[in-house]
Amino acid sequence: LNVSRQLTGTVTDASQLQQQASHALRILGTQLRQATPWAMAPQTSAQEAAQLRSSGTILGPTLRGMATPSGAKEFHLSLRTTSVQEPSHLATGTAPKPLHLLRDCLGETGATQAQKALVSHFRWQDGQLFCQGEGKPQPLISGVRDFQLRYLQQRLDHRTQPAQPRFRYAQAEDLQEADWNEVLAVEICLELEGLEAIDSAGAQYTRCDGTAAQRENRLQQVIRSTYHLRNPMAGGSG
């Protein structure tokens, strides 16, 4: 009975960790894919489903990250996008009504103006991954042992003619203020830990930072995923 219970607990742990990771990455991925200083404008022509158009206003930085945030207004990842009202048909009526279809990481918009900056902040603290939009932060998942971010930067090298794009992966502390506008993709690594005690027999695993660690009689899962932003493929001088 004891062996059966341990096996059941391990399987349940593995399933819950997968669900937790899927939920967190789905929210993170949605916010990363829509993060841009450009507004997504739906089209009705057969040639184009949508176009990117300039917002015409200063909405602040699209993407920022910090390795070790400390203050209440500092976060591991901050994302900003332009949200515009679009004519939408509601189930209760026939006339289209202007609505903001984009949502922040908590599924909220709270916008009444035609155009606004939609902001989502993420922080890993006390074993939980928190999300904050315009309101108070809310936990997305628990059991998070590590949360690492890596950024793919593209810059044009004007020493060659024509200028050639150069790519590099960088941590938040390696990026200067001007570098953030050249980030094209973000790699996310989540390390999750289960609740059930298991006999790991001294087994090791590779953490998000690439180091080896003991399993410590708990089930650990390390999950990575990469998401592209809608930043234009262009770089500054380099």
Query: Which of 77, 91, 69 is CA-nearest to residue 35?
Result: 77
**pLDDT tens across 77-120, in order?**
999 887 777 777 665 666 777 777 788 899 888 667 777 788 99
The structure tokens listed for 8 are 């059941």
The answer to whether residue 9 scores a pLDDT higher than 70 is no
Beta bridge partners of 99: 86
pLDDT band at 237 (very low <50, low <70, confident <90, very high): very low
* Phi-psi region at 156: left, alpha or beta (left = phi > 0; alpha = psi -120 to 50): beta
Q: Please give the pLDDT value at position 43.
A: 60
Check whether 187 has a pLDDT greater than 80.
yes
Least confident of 31-35, 108-112, 154-158, 188-192: 108-112
The strand pairing partners of 226, in sequence order, are 187
Tokens of 54: 């300039």
Tens of pLDDT, residues 35-55: 876 666 666 565 665 566 655
What pLDDT sits at residue 41?
62
Q: Which helix (H) or strand (E) holds 26?
A: helix 2-34
**Tokens 């200028």 appear where?**
163
